[in-house]
Amino acid sequence: MPRRVTVDGGQVGYRQSISVGKHRLIADESLDAGGNDAGANPYELLLAALGACTSMTVRMYADRKQWPLEDVHIELSYEGFSAEDCASCDGRVTMVETIEMELSFSGDLSENQRQRLMEIAKRCPIHRTLGSPIQIRTRPAYALV
């Protein structure tokens, strides 16, 4: 990863300042979750990352194939619920988490090209990361005195 991502939380409720290189973002919780709705919540940022990566991956593929893809539109949603509410779960899973992603393409594409772009969408790096076991190593950062 070429740039470091930093997140700083202050004393303004749940508002977080995010820096990625020279870019600045704000994350917050919605009003009904106790925040001030100053920015997207963490799940929305995760969905945005997946959608952006998927769209970029599809665009790169279409450009390489010189296909007439004009626009990519992606709508995403997240739902998490207890496995107790899941009739098909095997009892070992405690949470069932689902991301729904609907893609639409505009341009003079054949049905075969559209189907291939749907397959390519599943190969974006963020999609693969989210579908794989992820190790997150958390450690304290010691400030220099």
At which residue do the structure tokens 């291939």 appear? 116
By C-alpha distance, which of 61, 46, 60 is closest to 101? 46
Mean pLDDT, rounded, of the chain? 90
What the block records as the tokens of 143 is 């400030």
Nearest to 99 by CA among 28, 58, 49: 49
Sheet holding 16-20, edge to edge: 5-9, 16-20, 23-27
In the chain, where are the structural domains located? 1-39, 41-130
Residue 145 has pLDDT above 60, yes or no: no
User: What integer pLDDT is reported at residue 142 of this predicted model?
Assistant: 81
pLDDT per position as a tens digit, 52-107: 999 999 999 999 999 999 999 999 999 887 656 555 555 565 667 899 999 999 99
Q: Does domain 41-130 have CATH number 1.10.10.410?
A: no
What residues contact residue 48 under an 8 Å CB cut-off, 6+ apart?
Answer: 40, 76
